[in-house]
Amino acid sequence: MILAIINTFFEVLKEVAILFIVFTIGVFLIRSYGLSILSFWDKVEDDIKETSFEPKEKKEDNSSKNAFIINIPWLIVGLLFSLGFTAFLGENILIEIFKITVSFLIGIIVAKKLYELDFKQSSLFTIVIQFSLFALVYIFRLALVLILTLVEIAIIDNNQLSGAETIFIISLIAILGFTVFFSYWGDKVQLIKSKRIISIVSLIIGFYILTSSFTNQPLGFYYDFPMFFAISLISTTITAIILKQIAYNNIPSQEFRELRVLEKGKNLLQAKDLKVYYPLLGGMLKRQIGAVKAVNGVNFEIKTGETLGLVGESGCGKTTVANAILGLVDKTSGEILFQNELIPLNYPKHLRRKIQIVFQDPDASLNPRMKVVDIIAEPLKNLLGITKKSKIRAHVLKLLEQVSLKREHLDRFPHEFSGGQKQRIVIARALACNPELIILDEPTSALDVSVQAQILNLLKSLQNKFGYGFLFITHNLAVVNHIADRIAVMYLGKFVEVGDTNQIFSNPTHPYTQALLSSRTEIDPYNQEISFVIRGEVPSPIAPPPGCHFNPRCVSDARTKECEYDLPHKIKIHEGHYIWCVNPPVSKNKEGTKVKENIAIG
């Protein structure tokens, strides 16, 4: 009788200790992650529902008070049942269910009052919190029993028991590996953000069954371990399948939107004083010793139905501008606005749908192991959450027709296409999400001249049809003359001249622009010499020359000593035509007439 009382006392003491340990862990978890659980599903972008996990109140809750109050009902209920019903009546499934129900109802009331939630939100919050707490209790109980069993096996030194221990550990590792693999495997799994949670919950189920079988009867586990292992593995797999299916059902699936025509002339993209510096690190402590000023204060805007050509030598910062717009590199300062709204640092999914890019080398941007249908379907799966194969194939076929490719191209691999066809595939992929701005990073530089014309005509046709805005990056002036509405000439991270295409080509004013235009290698039977050559090499962007960065290479008649220490300022040549220079040069139009009406701005 006395031994039974002592045994009951220690069981209750063990249970109370576990409750207090889990209570402490729960306080820490709610203090750190409580607000992230208070989420709702109501964000709508462009008539498409998206999942948004944001706290109801936009403020951090770092106090332990709320976490303490939330966990107190659970602890009190647990202690009452441990010291009362469980101590005298023993473990009983009905008592456990009753305990969980009481704790859950009290938790809903407390959460509703504390966070001012509705019933649905407080229920969700309480389910997540209390499920985690009860799961931790069972894990601690099982872990304690497992430790005692392993210690007992080590003391007894029985070969069969030692074999059971080894088999148990190997089985745990096998289930762990399989569950992690299965949780991250699947056609739509990249759309699930909670893959780690699926793995953990599935493992808890499998580990619980396997560990219970081992601790209850180690010798029985030794002889029948294939059965116990199979039951644990099947339970884990079924749990993972159910959780993945729940996650799939909650993916914000969207419908295909037909390629719609954008109203021309609307504000699409604006960059204000954009700067992107790459830090230079040196020394043992890797401290910053300088910076590469890849983009140094540029301003531009792109409207719907318009193409801005970004021209300059290699290394002047053109691609960095594109990467900053796409969020691939962090901007040092300045603002980038899309449709008059600042682009946030986390670059939300609805913006990734609206801004796409076509890279320079199609071979580098196409996966050689994927068929064309899968390549073009990637944005449909990752950004729109659509995975039904019949719908995808039908939509991909429409996109291929837009870029003059055929049905038989669907199931071919990239190596079976010519360079021009590969670039058409890349363009089709960019059109998949019905974007509004497409960044074209030298899309024709790797193609033959005849193929270049086909791609440029295709781009112009798509723009005229749908009203896309293009940022066309190139160093080929003949190409930009064909496709661009406006041109921005860039040198060492800064704009030196901006204007309409006709203004730039008929009346180049900045010495650098004049040199670029004069260095074009075009077939002219009467003039086969390059009349204007830029002298010297491009200075290092790490340590550019003082004053005007172009002054060491400038051959303009207007160049003076001031160019070596004064910074260029914005000068208006004509309406919409500007240069950045220290001394306004005398420009010449196409007929050779001198133009002197240069107006300094700022």
- For every residue of 507-570, which 3-state class applies, written as one string? CCCCHHHHHHHHCCCCCCCCCCCCCCCCCCCCCCCCCCCCCCCCCCCCCCCCCCHHHHCCCCEE
Domain count along the chain: 3
Residue 58: the pLDDT is: 38
Q: In sequence order, what DSSP letters do the residues of 248-310 get, joined into one string? A: HHTS--------PPPPTT-EEEEEEEEEEEEEEEETTTTEEEEEEEEEEEEEEEEETT-EEEE
Q: Are residues 477 and 592 in the same domain?
A: yes
Q: Is 380 domain-assigned?
A: no
Q: Are residues 175 and 221 in the same domain?
A: yes
Q: Give me 41's structure tokens.
A: 């599903």
Residue 6: the pLDDT is: 62
Question: Which is nearest to 517 in space by CA: 483, 466, 480?
Answer: 480
Identify the three-state secondary structure at position 495. strand
Q: Give me 398's structure tokens.
A: 């429409």
Residue 532: the pLDDT is: 60
Q: Are residues 101 and 191 in the same domain?
A: no
* Cβ contact 429:396 at 8 Å: no
Q: Are residues 51 and 118 in the same domain?
A: yes
Q: Is 429 domain-assigned?
A: no
Q: Select from 81, 104, 137 the last residue of a domain.
A: 137
Q: Is 326 domain-assigned?
A: yes
Q: Is 296 domain-assigned?
A: yes
β partners of residue 494? 491
Q: CA–CA separation, 489 vs 494, rounded Å?
A: 8
Distances (CA, A) of 450 to 45, 406, 419, 456, 576: 41, 20, 11, 10, 33
Residue 591: the pLDDT is: 45
Cβ neighbours for 145, distance < 8 A, ≥ 6 positions apart: 211, 215
Q: CA–CA separation, 351 vs 338, rounded Å?
A: 8
Q: Are residues 234 and 318 in the same domain?
A: no
Q: CA–CA separation, 16 vs 106, rounded Å?
A: 20
Give the ranges where 84-194 is alpha helix by DSSP (H).
85-89, 93-115, 119-156, 159-183
Distances (CA, A) of 529 to 330, 523, 533: 43, 10, 10
Q: Are residues 329 and 448 in the same domain?
A: yes
pLDDT along the chain (602 residues), means of 10: 59 62 62 49 36 38 57 69 58 68 77 70 72 72 73 70 80 88 76 77 84 81 84 90 80 54 87 94 84 93 95 91 93 93 83 89 90 89 76 88 90 92 92 90 84 88 91 89 94 94 92 83 56 74 88 84 89 92 66 45 48
Q: Is 149 domain-assigned?
A: no
Q: Is 144 domain-assigned?
A: no
Q: Is 208 domain-assigned?
A: yes
Q: Give me 198's structure tokens.
A: 């699926």
Q: Select from 137, 170, 189 the last residue of a domain.
A: 137
Q: Are residues 344 and 311 in the same domain?
A: yes
Per the rule left: phi > 0, alpha: psi between -120 and 50, beta: everything else, 276 is beta
Q: Are residues 232 and 299 in the same domain?
A: no
Run of H or E residues at 368: none
Q: Give me 15's structure tokens.
A: 């249970």
Q: Are residues 509 and 576 in the same domain?
A: yes
- Give the predicted TM-score (pTM) of the model: 0.63
Q: Give me 165's structure tokens.
A: 């221990």
* Cβ contact 507:573 at 8 Å: yes
Identify the three-state secondary structure at position 348. coil
Q: Select from 252, 280, 297 the last residue of a domain.
A: 252
CA atoms within 13 A on the CB side of 583: 15
Q: Is 374 domain-assigned?
A: no
Range of the structural domain that residue 498 is part of = 267-366+434-601
Q: Are residues 296 and 222 in the same domain?
A: no
Q: Are residues 193 and 298 in the same domain?
A: no
Q: ∠ at Cα 400 (394, 401), nearest 5°?
A: 90
Q: Are residues 232 and 328 in the same domain?
A: no
Q: What is the CATH number of the domain that holds 338?
A: 3.40.50.300
